[in-house]
Amino acid sequence: MSPAKQQVNNPATSIPRHVAIIMDGNGRWAKQLGKLRIFGHQEGAKAVRRAVSFAINHGIEALTLYAFSSENWNRPPQEVTALMELFIRALDKEAKNLHKHNVRLKIVGDTQRFSERLRAKIQRAESLTAANTGLTLNIAANYGGRWDITQACQQIAVLAKNGSVNPDDIDEKMVCQHINLCDLAPVDLVIRTGGEHRISNFLLWQIAYAELYFTEVLWPDFDELVFEGALNAFAQRERRFGGTEPASIKEL
Ligand code: FPP
């Protein structure tokens, strides 16, 4: 690895460059209050706003949030519809605000299955913020880690078929060029709220050397203190990236 690609991870001061969050627990949070699940998602949207502000204020380069998985279509239709409406409203309400704060918004996932209306809102919000240089905010929507790897394989297969790629030259670097988010800093930290200890088909390729942090806190209760706790835990981890020496951030 070239020295330029190495970065010392000083445990006392290290801020992850790229944080990814599995926002879980909205439904349970609402149930505890005797309310409908969608109420939990609405409160979850407020926690998204808090997390974005925190990331901006702490100089995190990229924040990737798992908003809707490829498997979430299996939820009751009224919950899916309500979530889609929530995304549309959030894009309407927040796009200008994100732009004002120099945030670049990107929706990552198979957006083909979304309504025309939602796709148009996504397109507008992404183009409005495309040139921004502050936080990159990725919202994973109709996203699955397996889908991501599969779509990369499809793209490379097309290149191999038309002769522009020799199958012998396919390596990790090339695969990476076709996987979402590989143009950003590697994911350093994955946070999952809601008490489950699993990845649930979120980023798979991208989290090869990420640190994992699980908290019982339900997503609507996620606030600056919880985020701070995750960063403190991250700062104490010794990262070796498969080697024997601690403290280098490896870019792939
Ligand atoms: C998981 O909780 C949450 C989701 C599948 C949806 C996440 C959506 C939001 C936070 C709303 C706003 C998002 C944006 C980007 C504006 P769950 O429903 O699985 O909770 P449970 O495990 O308690 O049932």
Contact 24, 221 (CB under 8 A): no
- Residues of the chain above pLDDT 70, percent: 92
Nearest alpha carbon to residue 184 among 90, 95, 249: 249
pLDDT greater than 70 at residue 14 = yes
Taking CA 45 as the corner, what is the angle to CA 226 and CA 55, rounded to the nearest 5 degrees? 45
Residue nearest to atom 13 of ligand 1 (CA): 45
d(CA 239, CA 233): 12
Query: Quick check: CB of 24 below 6 Å from ligand 1?
Result: yes
Q: Is 72 a catalytic residue?
A: yes
C-alpha 65 – ligand 1 centre gap (Å): 10
pLDDT greater than 50 at residue 4 = no
> Which atom of ligand 1 lies nearest, measured to the CA of 194?
22
Query: Quick check: CB of 190 below 6 Å from ligand 1?
Result: no
What residues have CB less than 8 Å from 215, skipping those under 6 apart?
A: 191, 192, 193, 195, 226, 229, 230
> Which two tokens mark 201?
């088909």
Query: Quick check: CB of 248 below 6 Å from ligand 1?
Result: no
pLDDT greater than 80 at residue 8 = no
Residue nearest to atom 5 of ligand 1 (CA): 68
Query: Quick check: CB of 22 below 6 Å from ligand 1?
Result: no
240 band by pLDDT with thresholds 50, 70 and 90: confident
C-alpha 83 – ligand 1 centre gap (Å): 8
Catalytic residue among 9, 26, 72, 74: 72
The model's pLDDT over 104-114, given as tens digits with 9 standing for 90+, comes to 999 999 999 99
Q: Average of pLDDT values for 58-71?
A: 96
Strands of the sheet containing 136-143, edge to edge, are 104-108, 136-143, 62-69, 18-22, 189-192, 211-214
The model's pLDDT over 222-235, given as tens digits with 9 standing for 90+, comes to 999 999 999 999 99
pTM summary value: 0.91
Query: Quick check: CB of 25 below 6 Å from ligand 1?
Result: yes
241 band by pLDDT with thresholds 50, 70 and 90: confident
Q: What is the pLDDT of residue 245?
A: 76
Q: Average of pLDDT values for 5-26?
A: 75
Domains of the chain with bracketed CATH? 3-145+186-251 (3.40.1180.10)
pLDDT greater than 50 at residue 250 = no
**Alpha helices (runs of H) in 25-144, residue ranges in sequence order:** 26-32, 37-57, 77-100, 116-129
pLDDT greater than 70 at residue 101 = yes
> Which atom of ligand 1 lies nearest, measured to the CA of 196?
22
C-alpha 200 – ligand 1 centre gap (Å): 13
248 band by pLDDT with thresholds 50, 70 and 90: low
The model's pLDDT over 135-166, given as tens digits with 9 standing for 90+, comes to 999 999 999 999 999 999 999 999 999 999 99
